[in-house]
Chain A
Amino acid sequence: MTIQNGTRSAVFKIVASAVAALSLVAMAAPATAAGGGAKHPRSGGFSFEGPFGTFDQAQLQRGYKVYREVCAACHGMQLMSFRNLGQPGGPFYDAHENWSPAENPYVRALAAEVQVPDIDTETGEPITRPATPADHFPSPYPNATAAAAANGGAAPPDLSVMAKARHDGANYIYSLLSGYVPAPQGLKMAPGQHYNPYMAGDLAPFWEGDEHHVPPGGFIAMPAPLSDGQVTYDDGSPQTVDQYAKDVAAFIAWASDPHAVERKRTGFGVLIFLLLFAGLTYASYRRIWKGIAH
C-alpha cells in the first residue's frame, strides 16, 4: 500500500483506458481501407464538411442540373422523389415563401420536364406523362440487365446513396469524375473499359510495364461523362469539368443524407445539454460524496 504502488496503478489505469479507447478506433479504421491501390481522393473543399458545415444551395441546384442533363441518361436515383428537391434543406426549398414541397413551383416545373411511365386510367395501356412532385426519379433502364447490356456489361449503379456507399463519398465522386486521364502506356485495356486512377481495382494482371510501378486505380465501364461547357450555368459559375464534378458530387452527398444538416444542428443542442447535465451531475456527485472515504 505504498505511494509507489499507487502511482504504478494509476499509470496502469491510464494505459488500460487508452488501450480500450484505441481498440475501437483501430478496429473501425481498417474496415474502410479496402479498395486496392486507388489514388486517395482529392478534397472538393465542400461547404458541408465538418460539424458546422451546411450545403451551398446554389451548388445543389447546379448539381441537380448536371445530374439531370448528364448522369440521368445512365444512372437512376430511385430513392429520390421530385418533392425532395423542395423539402427544407433541399436545393429548391424557399424559406421565405413557405411552400410545401408539393406546391413549390420550381419543383413542379422541374418535375414536369421529365417524363415518367404510368398506366392510362381509362384504357390500362402503358403511357408516359410529365412527372409531378410526388413521383420518384425515373430510372433510365427498365431493369439491371438492360442497364448492363447497354453499358458494356456493367450496370450504372443507382446514385441515391452513392456518397454513403463509398469511403469519403463526396470527395471520391468528385475525384472520380474529374480524374480521368489517358491510360498509361503498357496497360492492356479491354474494349469498353476506361482507366481511372481513383477507381478501386488491381491493375497488376493487365500491366506490362515495371512490376514495381503498377498504375494506381482500376478499370471503369463509365466513359468520362463530363466535358467543359457541356452544361449551361446561369449563375456565372465556371462551366468546367472540375466545377461540374464538384457540384454533382455535392448534390449526390445531399441526396444520400438529406437530413445531414438538421442532424448536426440537433447534435449541437444535444451535446450542449449533455455537457451542462454532466456538470450538474458531477457537482451533485461531489456534494453527496463529500467527506466520504472511498
Chain B
Amino acid sequence: MSDHESTYVPKTGIEKWLDSRLPIIRFGADYMSLPTPRNLNYWYTFGGILTLCLMVQIVTGIVLAMHYVPNTELAFASVERIMRDVNGGWLIRYVHANGASMFFIAVYLHMLRGLYYGSYKAPREIIWILGCVIFFLMIATAFLGYVLPWGQMSFWGAEVITNLIGAIPMIGEPVLIWLRGGPAIDNATLNRFFSLHYLLPFVIFGVVVLHLWALHTSGQNNPAGILIPKERTPKDTLPFHPYFTVKDGFAIILFLILFAVFVFYMPNALGHADNYIPANPLQTPAHIVPEWYMLPFYAILRAIPDKFGGVLAMFGAIGVLFILPWLDTSRVRSMRYRPTMKVFFLIFLVVGVGLGWCGAQLPDAQVVPGMPSFQLLDGQLNSYLWLTRLLTAYYFAFFFIIMPWVGLKETPLPVPHSISEPVLDGGIPEKKG
C-alpha cells in the first residue's frame, strides 16, 4: 500500500496550478482512494473515532479556555459560571469532561484491537510506538485537565501524583518543587498545569500525524494479520472511500449515541462527586481516587510496598507497551490463529478490568466480606492489596513471560495466504459487519 499510485487528475486550471505548487488536493484524493484491506471489522473503526475525539476535545477546550480562569481563588467558580451563565456552556463543559472518558474508552479498545491482531509486529513497530506515545500524552493531558476545575479531587489527585516524583531518590525533591512551582500545590501549579493542558493536545495532534504517516507507509493490518502481497492488492483491498468512510461513519454515529447518553442524561456519572467540593488543602478527602481510566495504573502503583518501587511499576506498566514488538516471538500476527494466546488474552482483559476495580477500593478492605484469612507479610490475604498484587503479577507476566514463551511453544492454526482466499470460500468468521 505504501507505493499506492496516485490516480488524481487535476481538471480545472486552478487545480492544476495548485497541484504543481502544493498538491494538497492530491493528498486528500490519494487518501480517499487508498487500498484498504477489505476484511477490516468494527474494531478497526476506533482510529476514526479517536480522531474525532481529539477534535472534539480541542474545539470544546478552546471555548472553555475563553471563560476559564486559572487562579486558585476563581477556578472552581469560573467552571461553574461556564455551566450556569455562558450560553450553551453546560453543553461545552459536559462534552469536554465526558469527552475525556470517551476518548479513553476508544483508545483502550483501539489498543486492545492492536494487541489482539498483532498490529505492533513488523513492519508496524513505529506505528505502535507512536500510538503508545499518544496514549502516554493523553494520560498526562487528562491528569492536567482534571486539576483545572480545582475541586477536592483535582487538588488531592495532583497532590498524590506529584508526590510520586518526590519519591525518586536524590533528584526527587528539587524536581518536585520545580514541577509545582513551589513547595506546595498552589496558584503557580494551577497556572502551569493550565498552560501544559492547553499545549499537550497539539503535541498529540502532531504525533497523530506521524502515526498516520507511518500507517500509510507500512500499510494497515487486518483481522487476518497477513501482509497483502502486491499482486493480490486489487482482490484483497477496497478503496477507502466509499467503503470505509461509510463504515467508519456508521461506527462514529453509534459512538456519538453513547457519548450523547452520558452528556445529556448522566453527565456526572463518570466523575467523582467530591470534585464539586472546592479544593481545600486543609481537608483530605476520605478516599482519593483518580478518574476511571487511570485506575488500573493507580492500582499497580499501590500494589508495591515501596513508594519509588510503585512509581517504577506504574511507569513500567505503560513502558512495557513500547517494547511489546520485541517481546512477542510469534510468527503469526493475529490471535485469530493463535488459540492458546487467545485464552491468555482473555485473562489479560479480565485482569485489566480487575485492576481498575481494585484501584477504586481501599487496599485494606476485604475482597470477600467476612471471610477469615491470615496475615501475609504486610496485609491480610483476603484484601484488595493482595488481589491487586496477584493481578499486577499477571499484567507483567503477560508481557514478559507469556508473550515470548507462548510465541515459541504454540502451534498456530493455518494462516490463509491472502484475505480474499478465505473470504471468498466463505470460511472466515467475518460475516457482515
Choice from A12, A19, A258, A292 contacting B353 with Cβ under 8 Å: A19
Interface residues of B in 225-247 (CB under 8 A from A): 238, 242-243, 246-247
A109 to B323, CA, bound (A): 69
Q: Are B39 and A294 in contact (CB under 8 A)?
A: yes
Main SS class of interface, A? helix
A35 to chain B: closest CB distance in Å? Answer: 7
Indicate with 1 or 0, residue by residue over A1-44, a CB within 8 angstroms of chain B CB atoms: 11001100110100110011011101110111111100000000
Choice from A22, A160, A289 contacting B80 with Cβ under 8 Å: A160
Instruction: Check: A190 CB closer than 8 A to any chain B CB.
Output: no
Kindly list chain A residues whose C-beta atoms are within 8 Å of the C-beta of B424. 293
Q: Are A258 and B292 in contact (CB under 8 A)?
A: no
Instruction: Check: A164 CB closer than 8 A to any chain B CB.
Output: yes
Interface-facing stretch out of A65-73, A117-125, A241-249, A263-271: A263-271
Kindly list chain B residues whose C-beta atoms are within 8 Å of the C-beta of A30. 357, 360-361
A202 to chain B: closest CB distance in Å? Answer: 9
Q: Are A259 and B257 in contact (CB under 8 A)?
A: no
Kindly list chain B residues whose C-beta atoms are within 8 Å of the C-beta of A157. 277
Kindly list chain B residues whose C-beta atoms are within 8 Å of the C-beta of A12. 342, 346
Instruction: Check: A282 CB closer than 8 A to any chain B CB.
Output: yes
B76 to chain A: closest CB distance in Å? Answer: 9
A84 to B345, CA, bound (A): 54
Kindly list chain B residues whose C-beta atoms are within 8 Å of the C-beta of A169. 273
Instruction: Check: B427 CB closer than 8 A to any chain A CB.
Output: yes
Kindly list chain A residues whose C-beta atoms are within 8 Å of the C-beta of B247. 285, 289
Q: Are B352 and A23 in contact (CB under 8 A)?
A: yes
Q: Are B77 and A278 in contact (CB under 8 A)?
A: no
Q: Are B286 and A292 in contact (CB under 8 A)?
A: no
Kindly list chain B residues whose C-beta atoms are within 8 Å of the C-beta of A127. none
A152 to B420, CA, bound (A): 77
Given that A10-B429, A19-B350 are contacting pairs, would A271 and B286 also be in contact in the complex, using a CB cutoff of 8 Å? no
A171 to chain B: closest CB distance in Å? Answer: 13
A275 to B77, CA, bound (A): 36
By beta carbon, the residue of chain A nearest B286 is A34
A264 to B268, CA, bound (A): 13
Instruction: Check: A161 CB closer than 8 A to any chain B CB.
Output: yes
Interface positions of B (Cβ within 8 A of A) = 38-40, 77, 80-81, 83-84, 90-91, 94, 101, 105, 108-109, 112, 238, 242-243, 246-247, 249-250, 253-254, 256-257, 260-261, 263-265, 267-270, 272-274, 276-278, 285-287, 289, 292-293, 295, 336, 342, 346, 349-350, 352-353, 356-357, 359-361, 413, 416, 420, 422-425, 427-430, 432
- Nearest first, the 6 closest Cβ-Cβ pairs linking A and B are A267-B264, A1-B427, A30-B360, A165-B276, A27-B292, A6-B429
Interface positions of A (Cβ within 8 A of B) = 1-2, 5-6, 9-10, 12, 15-16, 19-20, 22-24, 26-28, 30-36, 51, 78-79, 84, 157-158, 160-161, 164-167, 169, 200, 256-259, 262-264, 266-268, 270-271, 274-275, 277-278, 281-282, 284-285, 288-289, 292-294
